[in-house]
Amino acid sequence: MFEARLLQGSILKKALEGIRELITSGNWECSSAGISMQGMDPSHVALTVLMLQNDLFDQFRCDRNVTLGLNHATFSKILKCAANDDIITLKAEDQPDECNLLFQSANDDKTSDFIIKLTDIDQETLGIPDTEYAATVKVPSVEFQRICRDLSQFGDTIIISVKKGCVEFSGTGEIGSAKIALKESGNVDDDEKVSVEMDKDTPCSLSFASRYLNYFTKATSLSDTVTLQLCPEHPLVVSYDIGDNGSLKYYLAPKIEE
Amino acid sequence: HGHQSSLDSFFRKK
């Protein structure tokens, strides 16, 4: 028996908005530790990894591991029936072929009860090696969303360059080119600030497809800040924390010079 | 800006 109750139901709604356009369906693995889901887009350029730890939920029970094979368009349609301040409960039997979703309104005068049919998804799980990142950059998530949107008007590639105390985003194309530089700001504890941490002082610069970065920024509402981790010739990691007990992470393969 | 690489060259299937 699996049952998980999320007081902040909006977390699930927002997570689905950040997932459904990249991966059409996925296995949501439920264990005593929490719920995790990972999947790649069809062209194997971006990997999406969702982690919702058990203490994100105010009630969490998972007697035996349960796999919920979910179609994300359907799941999203059902979640759209939930208000942002609804309490959402997920329930499933062992070896389930359906999942029960319960939405309770904040003032408890409305409850909605949905059953979603599960699908068999044979999806290999990828091992993500630990990587020493040359640079870890934190920027306000809305700022990053705006930069990706603005620069993608110039072309299909966005170059992210990090050097001491500064991160630069640039794009070039037929109409011209653009470069946006963010300086590390003073007190980095405030959510609205920029922080740039470098492993060594060697600058690094990588190119990425702007289309995917714009998919990732659909998760912006999950967190005030977004973390970018770069390492030469390695995938970019774009992370949105979900409170202190969860995250939605994206791994994007770089564009390699000829 | 070069060609798009694939994650398959970075991540191993478990």
- Confidence band, pLDDT 50/70/90 cuts, at residue B13: confident
Chain A / chain B CB contacts < 8 angstroms = 59
Question: Do the chains contact at B7 and A257, CB–CB below 8 Å?
Answer: no
pLDDT the model gives residue A174: 86
Closest chain B residue by Cα to residue A212: B4
Closest alpha carbon to A161 in A135, A142, A184, A187: A135
Whether residue A207 lies within 8 A of chain B, CB to CB, comes out as: yes
The share of chain A scoring above pLDDT 90, in percent, equals 88
CB-based contact A179:A142 (threshold 8 Å) = no
ipTM of the predicted structure? 0.93
Tell me the β-bridge partners of B13.
A126
pLDDT the model gives residue A190: 66
Q: pLDDT tens digit string along A18-27?
A: 999 999 999 9
Contacts of B1 in chain A (CB under 8 A): 157, 159, 207, 255, 257
CB-based contact A243:A145 (threshold 8 Å) = no
Residue A104, C-beta contacts closer than 8 angstroms, at least 6 positions apart: A86, A87, A89, A110, A111
First to last CA, chain B: 31
Which residues of chain A carry a pLDDT beneath 70? 187-191
Closest alpha carbon to A78 in A124, A116, A29: A116
Of A47, A129, A254, the CB nearest to B5: A254
